[in-house]
Amino acid sequence: MSRLLIPFSLVAGVILLVTLQCTVVWRWAPWGVHLEMLPPLLVYMAFTVNLPTAFFLGAFAAALYDAFSAAPMGASVIPYLAGVMLFSALRPVFFRGRISTRFMSGLVGGFLILLLQWVFSGKVILVPWGAVLPKILRLSALCGVLSVAYFSVLDAIFRASGLDPGRFEESPP
């Protein structure tokens, strides 16, 4: 199989999730929050592909999300790239096969990305911290659960295709 299958699959995943996230108006019933599906995929990207590819995919996801959503253009670029670069840098420290690593990475990544996204959207002055922080914490917990699901499903698909996600192929001499 081609080593470009994973990046192209992640581009398709970004397009699908941005489309779903920006068009489907569905609230997570127990907590009354709109499910954020993209931050856990960014964490998966950071743990799966090398830094330049993850950086490109994060920038692509931010531009696409800002184009489809009601957020100001550019409000997602810094949060998405900060999350991708942080987890790409921390990747050697963690064992990506553990459920606890997947959940905690999704939780922390979701919190970081969503908090920075709220700050850069310009709503800090209009909406008090006390109203937004509980929603961000609930969304972060859901990002942790989605992160576990993404790692499990996407890793299974890539392994069935004969690839080993998270390990970089050496380029030929």
Q: How far apart, in Å, are the Cα atoms of 10 and each of 48, 69, 71, 126, 149?
A: 10, 20, 23, 35, 15
- The closest of 4, 14, 5 to 160, measured between CA atoms, is 5
Mean pLDDT value of segment 98-123? 88
Domain at 111, CATH number: 1.10.1760
Provide the number of structural domains found in the chain. Answer: 1
pLDDT greater than 90 at residue 172: no
Mean pLDDT value of segment 142-156? 91
Percent of the chain with pLDDT over 90: 28
Work out whether the CA dihedral 116, 111, 66, 63 comes out positive or negative: positive
Confidence of residue 168 (pLDDT cuts 50, 70, 90): low
Q: How far apart, in Å, are the Cα atoms of 28 and each of 32, 33, 35, 133?
A: 5, 5, 6, 17
Residue 8 has which token pair?
A: 């192209």
Give the residue numbers spanning the domain of 151.
5-160
Q: Is residue 141 part of a domain?
A: yes
Q: Is residue 167 part of a domain?
A: no
Q: Is residue 170 part of a domain?
A: no
58-69 residue pLDDT tens: 999 988 888 887
Q: Is residue 43 part of a domain?
A: yes
Q: Is residue 151 part of a domain?
A: yes
Determine whether 82 is exposed, middle or buried from the number of CB atoms within 10 Å of its CB (0-12, 13-18, 19+): middle
Q: Is residue 111 part of a domain?
A: yes
